[in-house]
Amino acid sequence: MNTHTRRDFLQSLSLGTAFLLPQNRILNTINPKNNTVLNIALVGLGSYATHQLAPAFAHTKNCKLAGIVSGSPSKVEIWKKKYNIPDKNVYNYSNFDEIAHNPDIDVVYVVLPNAMHHEFVIRAAKAGKHVICEKPMAVSVKEAQEMIAECKKAGVRLMIGYRLHYEPFTQEIMRLSKGQDHGKVKFIEASFGWRNRDTKAWRMQQKLSGGGALMDVGIYAINACRYATGEEPNFVTAQSVKTEPSVYIDIEETMMWQLHFPSGAISQSTSTYNGNIQRLFVSYEQGFLEMSPAYDYGPLKGRTSKGAMDFPVIYHQVAMLDGMAEEILHKLPSKASGEEGLQDMKIIEAIYQSASQGGAPIKIS
């Protein structure tokens, strides 16, 4: 059985991934205004937490790894020794609520399967902790709305793990959406897929993932179309294709969709578990932008009709963690708010609805 993970795939796309760069090549543009540092506890010690987030804390300036939450005692022992985490900052899923009484934890980062986000974000909010939640933020619009409401009620921040919003290539795409360099956006092609055949992985189980390739990597393409246009789509049409139903049993294998924006811009996207693709193409009135790879951990590569995109290689997770910490510390607007995650969930639900209705246009509220 193929046991490769999405992390393995993302690493293989880049000959030199950012998290493997020597420390003196990792660039971090965050300049903390004071010496205050936020203490973060990771909830869930799976692949992303283990191989991306935890190592990033060695380079962060505004935050540090202070606690862990896991249902695996063997993992806990390894992490305690590796990251010097005291027993008082270690929790399991049953006693997690006791974190409310721990002043040494400021922020909880939920890195669990999608279907568990809702529960643990709300529990963290009720414990009085700021929350970072991996994307997609939930498995339904209803869950996302409840998470936002509970965090507001508790007076804590809710941020979603959109690491790309903190890196320079994506920030340049956002700048170009204003039309100053190449004019208005006319057409976008944004696609992301990888070969996933591990039927035992949680991503392949509807009850844990909430869906297939669309929920996993399709959200990157959806978000890219939104930040490339600077608009929210009016409606969507979508088509689902399954060529191997014995592998992709209760989730979609491949989803194709078209977003229509108020300005007249349109996008075409594909997410799939049955092939490797990672591309963003934006056609403007007087030029274009093309990136591949466009969404992985780096280094990202791209060009416009004016030449190569030349931006520093950064450690995405470092920039995101420090950026989010600074937003909390200094009460700044979030680049990756709960509302940002909610909007993607609205589009995802509309895509599933359209596909289930044979590609009928579905309005996005």
3-state secondary structure of 290: strand
Tallying the residues shown for the chain, one arrives at: 365
Query: Of 21, 314, 355, 56, nearest to 171 (Cα)?
Result: 314
> Alpha-carbon distance 234 to 148, whole Å?
23
220 labelled catalytic: yes
Q: Which residue has the tokens 């936020």?
A: 38
Q: Is the Cβ–Cβ distance between 291 and 300 less than 8 Å?
A: yes
Q: Rounded CA gap, 278 and 283, in Å?
A: 17
Alpha helix ranges (H) inside 18-72: 47-48, 54-56
Of the candidates 109, 162, 220, 295, the residue annotated as catalytic is: 220
Which of 135, 162, 248, 284 is catalytic? The answer is 135
| CA pair distance 239, 259, nearest whole angstrom | 12
135 is catalytic: yes
Task: Identify residue 14 by its one-letter amino acid code.
Answer: S
Contact 141, 342 (CB under 8 A): yes
Cβ burial of 303 (10 Å; 0-12, 13-18, 19+) is: middle
β-sheet bridge partners, residue 284: 185, 287
Residue burial 3-33, b: 16+ Cβ < 10 Å; e: rest:
eebbbebbbebbeebbbebeeeebbbeeebe
SS3 label, residue 213: helix
Cis peptide before 299 (omega within 30 of 0): yes
Give CA–CA dist 300/295, Å, rounded.
Answer: 7
CB 237 within 8 A of CB 153: no
**Any idea which residues carry the catalytic annotation?**
135, 220
